[in-house]
Amino acid sequence: MMSDSDQEKTEQPTAKRLEQAREKGDVPRSRELSTTVLLVICGCFMLFFGQRIVEVFIQLMRFNLSIDKAASSDPMMMFAHLEVTVKEALMSIMGLLIGLAFVAIAASVLMGGWNFTLEALQPKLSKLNPLAGIKRMFSINSLVELVKSFAKFAVVAGMAIYMIRSDQDQLMLMARQDIMTSMANGLELLLWGFIWLACSLVLITLIDVPYQQYQYMQKLKMTKQEVKEEMKNAEGNPEIKGRIRRLQREMTFRRMMSNVPKADVVITNPTHYAVALQYTGHKAPVLVAKGEELVAAKIREIADAHKVPIISAPALARSVYYNTEIDQEIPSGLYMAVAQVLAYITHLKAWKRRQGPKPVEPKQFDIPSELRHE
C-alpha cells in the first residue's frame, strides 16, 4: 500500500516527462515576453524610421486635402486618388509590417523554443466542461493574470500621466501651431510615449518569465511512485540499458585516463595489454587503469607524456589485467612479482639521480598457475 508521501508531487519532472509534455504541445510560454519584445522592436524601428513615415503621411494629407473641384465630382478620379493614397501609405509601412511579423514569430518562441504538434490542435471535450472552466476562473493562475493586468494598467496610466505633465508646455504650444507642425510634434510625442511604455513593460516581463517557468515545472512535478515507475520502465528498455552501459564505459575510461599520471608504473604486454599500478606504501598496489589494444596504447601514451615508468612484462600484465578490477588491490598471489617491478623502479630512479648502479630490468616472475592467463 502506497503512503501519502508517495502520492504527493514533490519530485522534479524527469527528462522523459518534459519530452512527453513537449510532444503534446505543452511548453512554457510568456505572453508578456512576446508583447514586450514586439513593442520594443517596434519602438526602435519607429525611432530610426519614424520621421520618414511621418513625412510620407504628411505629404499624403496635403495630397488629399488639395483636391480640385473637377476631381471631387468625378468618381473615377476620386478612386484613382484613393488608390494612390493607399499604395503610398502601405509602401511607407510595409517594411515595418514585414519586420514585425518576423519579430512576432521569433518572440513567441524565445521561451520554450519552436514546437509544433498536431496533438495541440485536436479538440478536447475537457475544455468544454463548465465546472473545469469555473475552477480555472478561481485558480492561482487567474489571480496572477488579474494582478498582471492591473500592473500593466498602472504602468500605462502612470506613464501617460507622467508624459502629459512633463510635456504639458509643448502640448499647450501645439494648440497655437499650424496643423502640419502641430501634427509632426504630436506624432513625435506619441512615438516617445510608445517607446517609454514598451521599456516600462520590461519590468513586468522580468517577473513573468521566471514565474511562468516555475509554474510550468510545478505543473509537471511527479510523485515518488511515478518516478519509480518511470525508472523501472526505463531500465527494462534495451535502448536505455545500452545508453547507460555506454555512459558507464565512457566515465570509466575518463577516470582511468586521469589516474594514469598518478601511477607508479605501467606494465605492458607490450602492445596488447597495459595496466597502471599505484603504490602508496600502506597497502597493496592498486590498479588505477587497464586496457587492451587501443586503450592500452592510450595508457602508454599518457604514461610516456607524464614520465611514468613503463615495464614490459607480458605474463604479469595479463595476470593483473584478468584478475584485478579498477580501484582494487592486486591479488596476494601477485605481491612478489609486482614487488620485483616496484623495486626495479625505485633503483632506476636512484640510478637516474646518480645515487646507485643501474638496475637490471626483471624478466622472470613467479606467478601462481591459477592467476596465469595465456
CB 191 within 8 A of CB 50: yes
For position 276, what pLDDT does the model report? 93
The pLDDT score that the predictor gives to residue 274 is: 92
Region of 222 please: left (phi>0), alpha (psi -120 to 50) or beta.
beta
Q: What is the pLDDT of residue 132?
A: 58
β partners of residue 290: 275
Q: pLDDT for 171-193, tens place per residue?
A: 787 777 777 777 777 777 877 87
From first to last of its 374 residues, the chain has per-residue pLDDT tens of: 455 555 677 788 887 888 877 777 778 888 888 888 888 888 787 777 777 777 777 777 777 766 666 666 767 777 777 787 788 778 877 877 888 788 778 877 777 766 666 555 555 555 555 665 566 666 677 777 788 788 878 887 887 788 788 877 877 877 777 777 777 777 778 778 777 877 778 888 888 888 888 888 888 888 888 888 777 776 666 777 777 788 888 888 888 899 899 899 999 987 889 999 998 877 889 999 998 888 899 999 999 999 999 999 889 999 999 999 988 999 988 999 989 989 988 888 888 888 778 888 888 888 888 888 87
| Contact predicate 339/265, CB 8 Å | no
Given this model, what pLDDT does residue 213 score?
86
Query: Hey, which residues does 144 pair with through a beta bridge?
Result: none
For the domain made up of 259-367, the CATH class stated in words is: alpha beta
Quote the pLDDT of residue 8: 76
Q: Where are the domains of the chain?
A: 11-117+126-230, 259-367
pLDDT of residue 1: 47
HEC string for the chain: CCCHHHHCEEECCCHHHHHHHHHCCCCCCCHHHHHHHHHHHHHHHHHHHHHHHHHHHHHHHHHHHCCCHHHHCCHHHHHHHHHHHHHHHHHHHHHHHHHHHHHHHHHHCCCCCCCCCHHHHCCCHHHHCHHHHHHHHCCHHHHHHHHHHHHHHHHHHHHHHHHHHHCHHHHHHHCCCCHHHHHHHHHHHHHHHHHHHHHHHHHHHHHHHHHHHHHHHHHCCEEHHHHHHHHHHHHCCHHHHHHHHHHHHHHHHHHHHHHHHHCCEEEECCCCEEEEEECCCCCCCEEEEEEECHHHHHHHHHHHHCCCCEEECHHHHHHHHHHCCCCCECCHHHHHHHHHHHHHHHHHHHHHCCCCCCCCCCCCCCCCHHHCCC
CB 291 within 8 A of CB 299: yes
Task: List the one residue out of 113, 102, 106, 135 whose CA is nearest residue 213.
Answer: 113
Predicted confidence at residue 117, as pLDDT, reads 62
Q: Counting every residue, how long is the chain?
A: 374
Using the structure block, give the residue that is written with the C-alpha cell 514569430. Answer: 105
pLDDT tens digits, one per residue of 336-373: 998 998 998 888 888 888 877 888 888 888 888 888 88
